[in-house]
Structure formats: structure tokens, C-alpha cells
Amino acid sequence: MLWAALLPDTLPDDPQRRTEALDGLATWCLQFTPRVAVLEALLQCPAVVMEMEQSLRLFGGKRRLVERVREESTDLGVRQLSWAPTSLAALAVGRAGMSNGFAKPLAQLLDALPLETLTQVASHQATLARLGCRTLGQVRALPRGGLSRRFDSQLLATLDQAYGLRPETYPWAQLPETFHAKLELMARIEHAPAILFGARRLVLQMAGWLMARRSGVTAFTLRWCHDAMRSKTAGDGGELTVRTAQATRDTEHLIRLLAEHLDKVELLAPVGDLELLATEVQSLEEKSFSMLPEARQSGEGLALVLERIAARLGPDRVLRPVILEDHRMEWMCRWRPVPEPAPRAKSCMVEVPQPTFILAKPLRLATQNNRPLYQGVLQLLAGPHRVEGGWWDRTTQSEEGERLGEGKGKGEGAPAPASPETTRHSARDYWVAVSEHAGVLWIFQMRLAKEETAWFLHGTFA
């Protein structure tokens, strides 16, 4: 068996906060194994233990698993991490300041440890000292009959469990349905970016919870509470919600996003407590590994980079094109902020010729004998293709002018008069035409007032 014992560095004195801190560490451990337990939560030296023998293959072997737990647990405030064949042996080894409980045979290793490493033995330390016992091996060498009559049954049971002679049973930690973690800071913080040091521990706990649930987060909220000696105008605290375009549990990406948002926050009073909530959670589809070598991606993906830039510059300054179901060419593509979730349904391709480039505003063409002119007379190759619609797309003339870049210059900065509401309804007959000098063009004919018609150039083919 492979047991790990995690001993936290400092814990609050308040029993409720102390229990919440240990439960948060246990929640993080649940990503590795469901066999996680909290030992002696309200005593002087509590610990969280987990049995990981069945998880070795899943996480790439013992060496990689030990390295990952050691690296991430340091950011969670774990001062000592130890390993042993039993949970109590790992706990005793950790309290003795050692980490490797497999360096020697288990009995030889435990026999040399002092009485203080096991709580049930340390409670009888005064009596055992008068008997000349200073180590666990000396206690174990005493007659079992005398020990059972003179001391309570917990002493022998604890020794047997530590030495692997009796099975260990614990009330296993349960994975909560929602994530809600709190952290009391060691010192009051006056600048928002400094909150990231404590928030990192909460984000790591949330990532472990997401891993255990095989899920990802699309939005999480960080709350902070102001110090009790604050001014009345500062309020109780504040909060910040971070959203992602796609569900993720990438710890480093979430921390980078949080750092970009915290750079824009100004605290009204010193902060003493933090609180993190996973507000929007989605299930993630696990990817199966291939038997063939796969190409490894170096660095971050484009989506993660754009998301972090949007957090720094603002969501309205980083846009991406979104294809919509619309037959009107100029409205097939809309620009949306990167943090907004992409539409799940993909738009259907139109089975008609589509130009490579379109003009921002259609160019009216001259005509000769009812034939359109553009660097010469145009020859119609294919068409007509009727496009009619847009009666539902309501707008104002001022919005349309801003989209086309009009209405600027004279009187700029003055409030624009209210414009009547109109629609972007269009009825056009599109043609594919060829010009001797301009190449293949995309033109349309539309009906004007008084039964007149006009030709417009709308796009070109590459």
C-alpha cells in the first residue's frame, strides 16, 4: 500500500475555520483518490491522509505522482509530506520530520520514532516514561497482556494499525456538489494584486475539485472581506467574477486571468479574508490517448492567449468573427467579444458562389444600354441568385452610419439627434460577372423608387 500524509503549516485557532481549511485540503486530494481522510482535525498536529496505490498507473507511475503531489501541495501550505505503507506510519514519519517511509523495513523505521509521533501513544507518555519507554519500539516490546490491562484499547489498536497488523478504517471525505472555499490571510492586504498570493491556494483547491468531478469552470467569483477597522464608506468587501470562453481547469491559465482582472481593482480598505466560488461548471469530455506519437503543443493555445489579452485590454477591444445563418453577405459575419461563448451550432454553407472579399459599402455602377460598367462592360456569367430578407433586423440610421464610418467630422462630439428606427431589409438579384481588367466580380441589381433599377458592385473573387 502507498499512503501519503500531508501536514499543514499553520491553521486558524477557530474550530470552524480550522475544519474548513482541512476540508479544503482534503477536497484537493480527492482528485488523486477517493480514499481521503482528515485525522485529528481539532488536535495540535492534524493531517490529511490518502491511499494512492490504485492511482499509480493513472498518474504515470509512483515517481511522477509523488513529484506532482509534492510540487502542488507546497502552494497549499503543506509543510511536511510523507509516504509510508500505512496511514499512521506516514503520519508518524511526517511528525518526525522525515518524508520517505520506505527507506527501511516498516518495523525498523517505526521502532526508532519517539512517542510523540502517535497521539494515542503520546497521551500515555508520562506513564510510559516511568516504565523506561522513549520510542515506539520500546512500547511495542512490552507484554501485550499487561499493556491491554493497564492502558486503554486504543494504544494497542493504534500500534497494530501503524505497523500494518490491523486494517485501518476511516470516515472518507466526501466530494461536495459545489465548490466554496474560504481563506484567512496571514496579514492585511492593501493592494489588489497582492491578493493573488492567497487566491492561488483557493484556485488550486478548485482545480482539484474540478479534476475529481471531471469538469471545467466557465466562471468563478473571488470575494474579499474588508478589515473590521475599516471606514464606514468602504463597505463589507467586494467581489470579482472571471469568465472563460470555454470550460477549463487549467490552474495557470485561471490564475493568469485572475491576475489581469486584479490589476484593475482598487481596494477601498485592507483585506483580511478571501472566498472563492465556482459559479458556472460544465462537464469535460476526456480525450483518449493514441498509441501513436502525438504532436506536442509548445506554449499556450490561441484561445487562451486571446482570453488573457481580453482580460487585460477589456472584452470589447478583442473581437473574433462569428459566422451566422444569414443570406445577406454583409451580415453573415458578426464581430463578438472573445470572452463570449461561441455558438454551438455551425452555420450551413450556402450552395451558391461566394466572393472572397466584399466591400464595406456596395459601390453603385454606371450602366450603358442597361448593362453594368466597371472598367469596361461587364459580362454576366451566372445568376441571378435572389436574396431577400432582413425585415426582422431593426436599426437606426445613426447606427448604420457609424458602422459604415459616416457621420464623423463636422459636429463630432455633439449628441446626435434621435433617428427613426428602420430595418435592414434587402431584395437583391446577385450575379457573377467578369471584367476584362478587374477580373471576376460579384454584383447585384436592386429595384429603386419609381420602378427604376440600379447595379452595385459588392465583392470580388480572388
User: Residue 322: its pLDDT value, please?
Assistant: 78
Lowest mean pLDDT among 230-239, 284-293, 352-361: 284-293
User: Residue 93: its pLDDT value, please?
Assistant: 94
In three-state secondary structure terms, 157 is helix
Digit-coded pLDDT (tens) for 72-106: 898 888 999 999 999 999 999 999 999 999 989 99
d(CA 36, CA 61): 19
As a whole number, mean pLDDT of residues 321-348 equals 71
User: Residue 290: its pLDDT value, please?
Assistant: 55
Digit-coded pLDDT (tens) for 209-226: 999 999 999 899 999 988
User: Residue 407: its pLDDT value, please?
Assistant: 44
> ∠ at Cα 272 (266, 274), nearest 5°?
80
Return the closest-CA partner of residue 92 out of 128, 58, 53, 139. Answer: 139
- What does 247-296 look like in DSSP terms, one character per residue? EE--HHHHHHHHHHHHTT---SS-EEEEEEEEEEEEE-PPPPPPSS--PP
φ, ψ of residue 119 to 5 degrees: the values are -65, -45
Whether the model clears a pTM of 0.85, i.e. scores above it, the answer is no
Lowest mean pLDDT among 264-273, 325-334, 351-360: 325-334
d(CA 461, CA 353): 9
Structure-model confidence comparison of residues 107 and 449, the more confident one: 107
In three-state secondary structure terms, 150 is helix
Digit-coded pLDDT (tens) for 58-81: 888 999 999 999 998 988 889 999
**What's the DSSP call for residue 377?**
B
The per-residue b/e assignment along 22-57, b for 16 or more CB within 10 angstroms, e otherwise, is: bbbbbbbbbbbbebbbbbebeeebbbbbbbbeebee
Digit-coded pLDDT (tens) for 293-319: 555 555 556 666 777 777 777 777 778
User: Residue 460: its pLDDT value, please?
Assistant: 86
- The dihedral region occupied by 450, where left means phi > 0, alpha psi between -120 and 50, and beta the remainder, is left
Mean pLDDT of the chain: 83
User: Residue 427: its pLDDT value, please?
Assistant: 80
**Cα-to-chain-centroid distance, residue 14:** 30
Structure-model confidence comparison of residues 152 and 49, the more confident one: 49
Residue that has been written with the C-alpha cell 482580460 in this structure: 311
User: Could you tell me if 457 and 444 are in contact, meaning their C-beta atoms sit under 8 angstroms apart?
Assistant: no
Does residue 449 carry a pLDDT above 80? no
Residue that has been written with the C-alpha cell 489498536 in this structure: 157
d(CA 169, CA 162): 12
d(CA 450, CA 447): 9
The single-letter code of the amino acid at 310 is A
Q: Residues, the chain, total?
A: 462
Digit-coded pLDDT (tens) for 166-184: 999 899 999 999 999 998 8
Does residue 410 carry a pLDDT above 50? no
Residue that has been written with the C-alpha cell 471606514 in this structure: 231
Query: Quick one: what percent of the chain has pLDDT higher than 90?
Result: 34
